[in-house]
Amino acid sequence: MLIGINILVYLAEIFLKQIPVYAYMSLIPAAIVHGWVWQFVTYMFVHDPSSFTHILFNMLALFIFGPNVERQMGSKEFLLYYLLTGILAGVFSFIIFALSGSWVVFLMGASGAVFAVQLAYAVLFPRSVLYIWGILPLRAPIMVLGFTAIELISMIVGFGGNVAHLTHLAGVAFGWFYFMIRFGINPWRAMRS
């Protein structure tokens, strides 16, 4: 259902060009200050209409990792996890934007929540082996820690221009806290098992 909602919103962005869907749904700090608080939720369902790869890679990752995590957690818990980590990643990004005076930025995409789902997969299935590009076998925890390291390095060196690396990292961090607080599971220990 989450993938379906994302695709429907993306199609609305493309075909309803007279209605700037992304402007209403993206997380824009100046708009939130003026009461558009729904953007803390809706930004996760809107993607850059000029970049098909933005939605493609987010939905591909959700398709690969989401079903197993959802089966393990249960649908209600998975939805809570997905939405809460995504919302908190958005709130954290909003605070950083506000502190830096970046009031007119458009934060969009499911990446914060998707990174949290990838973390959940690595915690719940630490022995699972994934094939990067269908060739390179990696255990799920190595892959997730590798992606997290790439995001951290990219944020520090400024690689990736319009990519919200901090939001991705916040998704991982809030997913980490979710496991510790809600389930009493230390993700580091779980991934090392």
Q: Considering the chain, what is the average pLDDT of its residues?
A: 92
More confident site: 13 or 17: 13
Are 134 and 125 in contact by the 8 Å Cβ rule? The answer is no
Predicted confidence (pLDDT) per residue in 55-97, tens digit: 999 999 999 999 999 999 999 999 999 999 999 999 999 999 9
What is the extent of the structural domain holding 88? Answer: 2-192
CA distance 193 to 58: 28
Are 123 and 117 in contact by the 8 Å Cβ rule? The answer is no
Domains contained in the chain, number = 1
Q: What is the DSSP string of 148-192?
A: HHHHHHHHHHTTTTT--HHHHHHHHHHHHHHIIIII---HHHHHH
pLDDT band (50, 70, 90) for residue 26: very high
Neighbours of 50 (CB within 10 A): 9
Predicted confidence (pLDDT) per residue in 133-161, tens digit: 788 899 999 999 998 888 888 878 865 55
* For the chain, percent of residues with pLDDT exceeding 90: 74
Two tokens, residue 106 = 């458009």
* pLDDT computed for residue 33 by the predictor: 96
Would the pLDDT of 20 be above 80?
yes
* pLDDT computed for residue 193 by the predictor: 81
pLDDT band (50, 70, 90) for residue 25: very high
pLDDT band (50, 70, 90) for residue 169: very high
pLDDT band (50, 70, 90) for residue 8: very high
Are 106 and 131 in contact by the 8 Å Cβ rule? The answer is no
Would the pLDDT of 163 be above 80?
no
The CATH number given to whatever domain includes residue 8 is: 1.20.1540.10
Q: Smallest Cα–Cα separation from 144: which of 175, 182, 186, 166?
A: 175
* For the chain, percent of residues with pLDDT exceeding 70: 96
Q: Smallest Cα–Cα separation from 116: which of 156, 80, 91, 152?
A: 80
